[in-house]
Amino acid sequence: LAHIISAIVQSIQTGDENPEIEDVSDERDKLIALRGTQVTYIVFSIGVFFAMLTFVLGQPALVMFTLLIFF
């Protein structure tokens, strides 16, 4: 939202009707995003595993659902 507003303000100030917005992402940005995705999947998988483990160990289903919500 802030990016849209700043683009509108910039186009009003410069008088340019079609401003070129540069959104450059290099290899480093892509690797950082990939690493974040990997960490997210790992944490989610561990959370689901622990949630299922609590159900297998005889805990109430509410504990399992609570862990699923928090992970």
What per-residue confidence (pLDDT) applies to 36?
94
pTM of the model: 0.57
Is 17 within the bounds of a domain? no
The ranges of the chain with pLDDT < 70 are 16-23
Q: Could you give the CA distance from residue 70 to residue 67 in angstroms, rounded to a whole number?
A: 5
Residue appearing with tokens 């450059």: 24
Is 10 within the bounds of a domain? no
> Cβ contacts of residue 7 below 8 Å, gap of 6+?
19, 21
Domain count, the chain: 1
Is 6 within the bounds of a domain? no
pLDDT tens track for 29-47: 889 999 999 999 999 999 9
What do you get for the CA distance between the two ends of the chain, in Å? 28
What per-residue confidence (pLDDT) applies to 3?
79
Is 70 within the bounds of a domain? yes
